[in-house]
Structure 1
Amino acid sequence: MTRPRIAIGGFLHETNTFAPSMAGYDDFVQGGGWPRLAEGDEIFERVRGVNVGASGFIEAAAEKGWTLVPTLWCAASPSAHVRQDAYERIATRIVSAIEAAGPLDGVYLDLHGAMVAEHLDDGEGEILARVRAAVGPGVPVVASLDLHGNVTPGMVAAADALIAYRTYPHIDMAETGRRSAVHLAGLLGTDRRDAKVFRQLPFLIPIAWQGTGMEPSRSIYGRLADMEGGAIRTLSFLPGFPAADFPDCGPSVLVYGTGQAEAEAVADELCALILRSETAFAGRVLSPDEGVREAMRIAQSANRPVVIADTQDNPGAGGDSDTTGMLRALVANGARRAAIGVIVDPAAAAAAHAAGTGGTLTLSLGGKSGTPGDRPFEGTFAVEALSDGRFVAPGPFYGGSRMNLGPSACLRIDDVRIVVGSRKAQMADQAMYRQVGIEPREQAILVNKSSVHFRADFEPIAETVLVCAAPGPMPVDPAALPWTRLRPGMRLSPGGPVFDRPAGQPKS
C-alpha cells in the first residue's frame, strides 16, 4: 500500500490593525517568541517538542505512517499589518513548494486565522485559495487555527476543515495539530467531504475575558466537547481577535458533520448558548494606581506574588511592549519587591550592557512607540544582571520554545526590577524573568505585559490576578477603538454600542 503524501506548512500572524508597528520579513525569520522560519526538512527539527500545531500534526503523521512533504513554517509576534513584501515572499514559497511536490494526497497548514496584510484583509483566505488552486478540488486541505481567528467565508470555502484551539491560554496548540491529522485521515483516499456550517456572531469579545479557565468560556467549551461525535466530526468556537478593522472581524462557529441538517442543528444550539452568555464576557479592570495599591494591600499578608496583567500593552495582541504606565505606578506608589516585564528598549539594553553589572545609568526607558497617553520613564537605574536573551521557555504556553529576546538586562529603580529586552514576546513564562536573574516566586508583585496567556504559568504561583488598563494599543474594551470597517450592526463589546459606519465611509 502506498504511503499517503501530505504537504505541510505554516504561516502565523495575529494582526492588530490599530497597532503601531507592522511585521516585516525579518520578524518572521527571527520568530520572536516562536521558532525561527524554517524550510524543508529543518521544519521537523525547529518545531519538534514545541507547543505549535505543526508539532502535533507531525507526531500524528509519523504514527500513521504518512510521508510528509515539508514546505515552509514561520510565525511572528502580533503587530500591525504584515507587510506586502513579507506576505508575498512567504506565501509564494509555500505554494511553490506544494506545486513542486508532485501528486499529493492531502495538505495541512498551521495558520492563525487573524492575519491582515498590507495589501489584503484576508491573509489566511488568500493563502488557502492559492493552495486550493495548486492542488485542485480533489485533494483535502485541512488547517488548524488559533481560537482568536477572525474566520472569513473565503477561508471556509477553500478548506475542507478548519479546526481551532480550545484553550486560552493556548496549551493545546500541538494537540490541535494532532486533531487536524485525525480529521484529515478520515478524508484521505475518499470522495467524501463533510457538510460545513459557518456562523458569525454579532458582538466583539474583549480578549481579557476570553480565557477558557473562567466563565462563560469554560462552560461553552465544555458543552462544545460534549456535542462532538457521531454525525458531528469536529466543531469550533472562535471568540475572535477584536482589533482587526475589516468586516469579518469577530466571533464565529464552525461545524463539520456527515449531514447538513445535523450540523445546522448543532451550530444553532452552540450559537444560542454563546448569545445567552454575551454579557458574562466582562470583568473588573483597575487603573494603574488602583491596581498597584490593591496589589500592595494584598501582598502585606500574602505568601505568593500578586500578578497584574498590563493588558493594553500586550505584545501578544500587537503592542510594542514598551509602555511605561504600570512602571510609573509601581515607582510612584513605593511598591516593594516588585518586577515588571518585558519592557522592550534595545537602546536601554545596549546601555546596560555597556555599563556592566553593578553599574548605574540614567536614561529614558521605554515609551518610544508613540502610544497616546504614554511617554518614556526618566530615571537612574542600577544594572543588576545582563543576558544575551537566549533561553528556553518550558512553561505550558511556550512549551519548550527556544526564545531570543536579544540583549537583555535587569534594571532596578528603588525596589522595582525591570526586565528590559531588545525584541518583544509576551510575558507568559517564568523563565522570562529568570533569564535576567529575577526569581518570580520571590517577588511580592509581578506585572506582566500579557492579557491571558501568562495565566498558564503564573496562576499556579499567584496569590491572585488583577487586570489593569494602562495606556496601550489594545484597549481592554474593543469599543474604545476607532472602528471604520466592521459589519454594520456589530456590537463593539458585549451588550455594548452598535457599530455604525462613519459618515462618508464607503462600503467595504
Structure 2
Amino acid sequence: MALIGVAGFLHETNTFAPEPTPMARFVEADAWPGLLRGAEIAPATRGMNLAISGFIEAAERDGHCLAPLLWCSANPSGPVQREAYEQVAGELEAMLSRQPALDALFLDLHGAMVAQHLQDGEGELLRRLRRVRPGLPIVAALDFHANLSPAMLEHSDALVAYRSYPHVDMAETGRRAGAMLRRLLQGHRPHAALRRAPFIIPMAWQSTLAEPAAGLTAAALALQDEQVWEVQFIPGFPLADIHDSGPSVLVYAASAAAAERAADTLYTQVLRARDAFRGTLYSPAEAVSRALQRQSHMLVAAPAGSRAGEPVCGGPNAVEHMNAGNAATPPSHAGHTVILADTQDNPGGGGSGDTTDLLHELLRRGARKVCAGVVCDPGFAAAAHAAGAGAVLAHPLGAGSGIGAAPLPGPYTVMALGDGRLVGSGPFYQGCRMDLGPMARVRVQGLDIVVSSRKQQAADQAMFRHVGAQPADYDTLVLKSSVHFRADFAALADEILVVAAPGLNTADLHTLHYRNLRPDMEIL
C-alpha cells in the first residue's frame, strides 16, 4: 500500500484566441467541476469521464491511500494569464512540499497549456514539482491533443494520453495511468521512446472514428505486449503556436530496445498516413443548401396532430420550464438528421460559442425543423428568464464576441427555461454534473436555439433535453462542436457536414500565421 498524491491542472490553449484566460475561469464550474482542493476532489469527480476519476478508482481498488491536493480546469481559450498560472503552480508546489511521506504523484494534465510567459505550461509545472520532490515517481494523464515536449518527458516517469477523439476514454486513461504507477511502485522503471512528426494536423481530421486516426490507434494497441506497456499516437493541438506543437508517438517498455522498435514501427505508419489527414469544409451557404436538398428527398413521418415545420417535441405553444433534472430519454428513431458541425465556433477549441453566421443563413433560406446550440449569450439568457416561458422576446442574440455576422434579431418565442444544472448522459460527458448558468430554448421562424450563460461545446444531448428539445425530433441540428458531438449525436445522423463559419477554432490552418513552430514543420 502506497500514499499517492493526486492533483490536476488542465487547459487547452488556443494561442490565436485574443482573450487571455484568467483565474476566474479555473474557479468556476462548467461541464466539469470548478476549482477543488483536498477532500473535495474525490466526491466531486466520482463517476465522471475524467482521468482523475479513473485514477482514483484504480488506486482505491489497489488499496492505496490518497492525498488529494488540488484539481482545476478551464474551457479552451487564450493563453493562461501569468497570475493564474503562478497561483495554481505555486499552490501545488506548496502542497507537495507539505507531503513528505508521499510515495508517488499522479497528475491530471492536458499537455497543450500555454501561459502568457511560458510556451510549455506542463513541462514547466513538472520541472517545478520534480524540484520539490526529486526522485518521487510522477505519472501524468494527458489529452489526445497534447503537444509533447522533451521537458515533459524529462520531468515525469510516465505520460499516458487518451486514445480516442471523441474522448470517451478519459476515465479509462486514468486507470491506465494507475497501471503504469503500479509498475513503478513495484520497481519496474519504464524506458521511453519519443518520435515527433514534422507536420500539424487540423482538429477536424483527428477523429478516431475515421481514418487515418482510427487505424493508427489500432496499430498502436497491436504493438503492446508484456514487454511493451504503452504505445501511443498523440496528434497534438495545432492551435497552439509553440515550438513543440505537433503529433507524437510515445512508447513505454521494459527495455530501451523494445521501446525504440515499437516507436519506429508506429512512427513509420504515421508518416505514411500524412496525406490522409484531410476532409471537406463547407461554407454556411453550401452546408445549408446541401441540408435542405437532402431533406427534400427524405420522407419523415410526423406524429398525428403535428404541423409541418415544427419539431414533434412541441408545437408553437408547447412552452415549459425545466429544472435541474434532465428531460426524458429521447425516442429510439434515428438516422434521418443532417448535422452541421459549426466547427470554428467550437468552445472546445477556444471558440467563443456565440457566432451567428450559420443561423443567419438558415433563416435566410427558410429552413424548418432545425435546432441549433449551444449559443453562449448570458445577457440573452437573463432576458429570456425575465420574460418567462411563453413570452415573445425582441432581444438580439449572439455575436457578443464581435466575430462574424451581427446578432440574430428576433422576435423570439421563449419555449423553455432551465437553470443550466444537468448531468451529462453521453459517452464524452458521462456523469459530468454541468453548471452552464441560466439556459433557454427560443424559437424564431422554424429555428429552435438553445442558449446558455457559460460557453460549452454541444457534445451531449442532455444539454438540449434540459430545455425540452429532443435532438432526434429535428431534421437538422447545428452543433457548436468539432468532433466530440459524434459520441452522442452521430447515431442520429443521415449526414454530417463540417462547416467553416467564422470563429476562433480555425479549421484551415493555412489561414493562420505561425511564428513559433519548429523549422521543419508542415501545415496540413
TM-score (norm 2): 0.91
Hey, what's the Cα distance between the residues in 2 that align with 1:490 and 1:467?
25
**1:22-46 deviation line (CA, Å, top 9, x unaligned):** 2211211113221222111110101
- Name 1:252's counterpart in structure 2: 248
- Alpha carbons of structure 1 residues 67 and 83: separation in structure 2 relative to 1, 3 Å: same
- Name 1:347's counterpart in structure 2: 379
**Structure 1 unmatched runs, 5+:** 494-508
Among candidates 314, 318, 337, match of residue 305 of structure 1 = 337
Q: Which amino acid aligns with 2:173?
A: T
Hey, what's the Cα distance between the residues in 2 that align with 1:189 and 1:101?
21
Hey, what's the Cα distance between the residues in 2 that align with 1:291 and 1:388?
32
CA contact (8 A) 1:163 1:235 kept: no
Among candidates 411, 430, 450, match of residue 481 of structure 2 = 450
The CA deviation at 1:133 is: 1.1
Pair 1:154 & 2:148 matched: no
The CA deviation at 1:363 is: 2.7
Hey, what's the Cα distance between the residues in 1 that align with 2:212 and 2:523?
18
SS of the residue 2:396 aligns to: strand
Among candidates 451, 461, 484, match of residue 515 of structure 2 = 484
CA contact (8 A) 2:183 2:189 kept: no
Instruction: Show structure 1 runs of 4+ deviating over 4 A.
Output: none
CA contact (8 A) 1:15 1:116 kept: yes
- Name 2:466's counterpart in structure 1: 435
Pair 1:204 & 2:225 matched: no
**1:278-307 deviation line (CA, Å, top 9, x unaligned):** 111111111111111211222231652211
- Name 1:403's counterpart in structure 2: 434
The CA deviation at 1:189 is: 4.7
**Structure 2 unmatched runs, 5+:** 301-335
**1:251-280 deviation line (CA, Å, top 9, x unaligned):** 111111122222112111111101101111
- Name 1:369's counterpart in structure 2: 401
Among candidates 500, 505, 511, match of residue 474 of structure 1 = 505
Which runs of structure 2 are paired with 1:72-471 in the superposition (5 Å)? 72-137=70-135, 139-190=136-187, 192-300=188-296, 301=298, 303=300, 304-371=336-403, 373-471=404-502
Hey, what's the Cα distance between the residues in 1 that align with 2:208 and 2:523?
21
Hey, what's the Cα distance between the residues in 1 that align with 2:295 and 2:346?
24
SS of the residue 1:6 aligns to: strand
The CA deviation at 1:215 is: 0.4
The CA deviation at 1:370 is: 2.7
SS of the residue 2:111 aligns to: coil
RMSD value, Cα: 1.2
**1:382-414 deviation line (CA, Å, top 9, x unaligned):** 111111111111110011111111111111110
CA contact (8 A) 1:427 1:448 kept: yes
- Alpha carbons of structure 1 residues 156 and 298: separation in structure 2 relative to 1, 3 Å: same
SS of the residue 1:467 aligns to: strand
Q: Which amino acid aligns with 2:484?
A: H
Higher mean C-alpha deviation, range 194-203 or range 64-73 = 194-203
SS of the residue 1:377 aligns to: coil
CA contact (8 A) 1:202 1:489 kept: yes
Q: Which amino acid aligns with 1:486?
A: L
SS of the residue 1:466 aligns to: strand
- Name 2:331's counterpart in structure 1: none
The CA deviation at 1:456 is: 0.2
Hey, what's the Cα distance between the residues in 1 that align with 2:395 and 2:491?
35
Count of residue correspondences: 488
Hey, what's the Cα distance between the residues in 1 that align with 2:189 and 2:132?
19
SS of the residue 2:496 aligns to: strand
SS of the residue 2:219 aligns to: helix
SS of the residue 1:86 aligns to: helix
CA contact (8 A) 1:105 1:189 kept: no
The CA deviation at 1:364 is: 2.5
The CA deviation at 1:95 is: 2.0
Q: Which amino acid aligns with 1:153?
A: P
Hey, what's the Cα distance between the residues in 2 that align with 1:320 and 1:32?
14
The CA deviation at 1:374 is: 3.3
SS of the residue 2:264 aligns to: helix
